[in-house]
Amino acid sequence: MPDSDFIQVKQMHGELLVSQKRQQLGCTLTTKELIFQKPHASYQIFLSDILGIIPFQLKKPAPAPEVLGESGVSPHFSTQYHRISALRMFVINRSGGFEKGVTDILVPLNERFIQHIQRCTDFIPIPTQ
């Protein structure tokens, strides 16, 4: 991906378990870390630094279809996100990299990623409903 807007993480730790890139978001899980990528920024969190992962439901925005001629266009974005709380996170952008202390990050994660994270950590799922 030499022409990609995604910033590559040069040193990944652990064995690769799953990786996916969809439009403007990339997610990679190894046995030791979780990496989120969006254009021009990457976020690297070690699994040992994760305090918790909580489902987070975004409020649906009011539908605002755009009419182009006789066609209606309505964007569809996932409203199911997860809030990840971590002791520290490494942020890599075009200016370089830096460590951020205790932080939360909201990311759209599918059930497959959550299941893989549960297998790699000692997190205990708690029903939210």
CA 64 to chain centre: 26
Type of residue at 9? V
- 8 A C-beta contact, residue 82 and residue 56: yes
pLDDT at 26: 87
pLDDT digits (tens, 9 = 90+) for 4-27: 777 777 778 889 888 888 778 888
Sequence ranges of the domains in the chain: 16-58+76-120
Cα–Cα distance measured from residue 108 to residue 38, given in angstroms and rounded to the nearest whole number: 12
pLDDT < 50 positions in the chain = 1-3, 62-69, 71-77
For residues 113 and 25, give the distance between their C-alpha atoms in angstroms, rounded to a whole number.
14
